[in-house]
């Protein structure tokens, strides 16, 4: 946003410089209705374009921040699940589970 302000002031300064370089320049002509309309129209167009650019850049920044928050939350949940799995592994007996064999099969 600072760059947009800098460019806006630079363009406004160039407009005043060009207006000042006119052969019939006078301070009174700066405040004539036609000049004021041009100045106000330029400011209005600049505000409209600046608003659109600001809206788009803010939306992009918000989406990126949302993705970062979701990623951080997923990492936290993964760490918690790993801790729970480690606790369950340490609590369970370490004896291997052997399937029982049926020693008395039925004969048909």
pLDDT at 18: 78
Query: DSSP secondary structure string, 14-52?
Result: HHHHHHHTSTT--HHHHTSHHHHHHHHHHHHHHHHHHHH
How far is the C-alpha of 80 from the C-alpha of 84, rounded, in Å? 6
pLDDT for 48 equals 83
* Helices and strands (H, E) in the chain, number of each type: 3, 0
| Cα separation, 46 vs 18, whole angstroms | 18
The domain segmentation of the chain, as residue ranges, is: 32-89
For the full predicted model, state whether its pTM sits above 0.75. no
pLDDT at site 2: 66
Q: Give the pLDDT of residue 14.
A: 80
State the pLDDT at residue 75. 95
Ranges of residues in the chain with a pLDDT under 50 are none
């Amino acid at each position: 946003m600072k760059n947009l302000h800098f460019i806006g002031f630079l363009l406004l300064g160039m407009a005043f410089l060009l207006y000042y370089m006119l052969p019939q320049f006078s301070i009174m002509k700066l405040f004539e209705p036609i000049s004021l309309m041009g100045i106000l129209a330029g400011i209005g167009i600049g505000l409209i374009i600046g608003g659109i650019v600001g809206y788009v850049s803010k939306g992009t920044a918000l989406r990126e921040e949302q993705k970062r928050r979701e990623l951080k939350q997923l990492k936290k949940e993964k760490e918690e699940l790993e801790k729970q799995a480690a606790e369950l592994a340490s609590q369970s007996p370490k004896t291997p589970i052997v399937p029982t064999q049926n020693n008395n099969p039925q004969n048909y």
